[in-house]
Amino acid sequence: MVGLVVVSHSRTAAEGIAEVAGEMGGETRIEAVGGDGQGGFGTVADDIEGAIEEADGGDGVVVLVDLGSAVMNAEVAIETGNSEAVIADAPVLEGAVNAAVAATSAKATVESVREQAEAARGIEKL
């Protein structure tokens, strides 16, 4: 099963987004990671790498990110880690919900889940 990691500058935000996505995600593993490790806002590559390992059930991981350094630190985490993982270029909350649903499909792959997450870029609300 494809796992998910939600990365935000705020750990609280990451956990909240993971909760919202988890409602739709059945058995999908969703890890939340965020904060600078010192109690402040930020993202840390090592922490993201750890979250990817936790989320990986053997079929790879799709990573959802919020702003700037979350993208860069997620890239570093993927480069240095051992799991098959990709970043979805998607809004972090809507992308996580889409990805969580997509991951429940029996045929889900990292690429199909990323594609569904990225489809959230076109969601209109009004």
Catalytic residues, by residue number, are 9
Residues in a beta bridge with 95: none
Q: Is 89 in the site for another protein (CB under 8 A)?
A: no
Q: Nearest-5° angle of CA 82, CA 86, CA 91?
A: 145
With CB under 8 A as the contact rule, the residue among 19, 46, 89, 111 that binds another protein is 46
Q: Is 37 in the site for another protein (CB under 8 A)?
A: yes
Query: What count of other Cβ atoms lies within 10 Å of the Cβ of residue 82?
Result: 9
The conformation of residue 24, written as its DSSP 8-state character, comes to T
Q: Is 42 in the site for another protein (CB under 8 A)?
A: yes
Burial class (CB in 10 A: 0-12, 13-18, 19+), 126: exposed
Q: Which helix (H) or strand (E) holds 53?
A: helix 45-55
Q: Is 69 in the site for another protein (CB under 8 A)?
A: yes
CB of 122 to another protein, least distance (A): 22
- CA 1 vs CA 6, 30, 70, 113: distances in Å: 16, 11, 24, 11
With CB under 8 A as the contact rule, the residue among 20, 76, 86, 119 that binds another protein is 76
By beta-carbon proximity to another protein, the closer residue of 49 and 56 is 49
Q: Is 16 in the site for another protein (CB under 8 A)?
A: no
CB of 78 to another protein, least distance (A): 11
Q: Give contact residues for another protein (rule: CB under 8 A).
A: 35-38, 40-46, 67-69, 72-73, 75-76
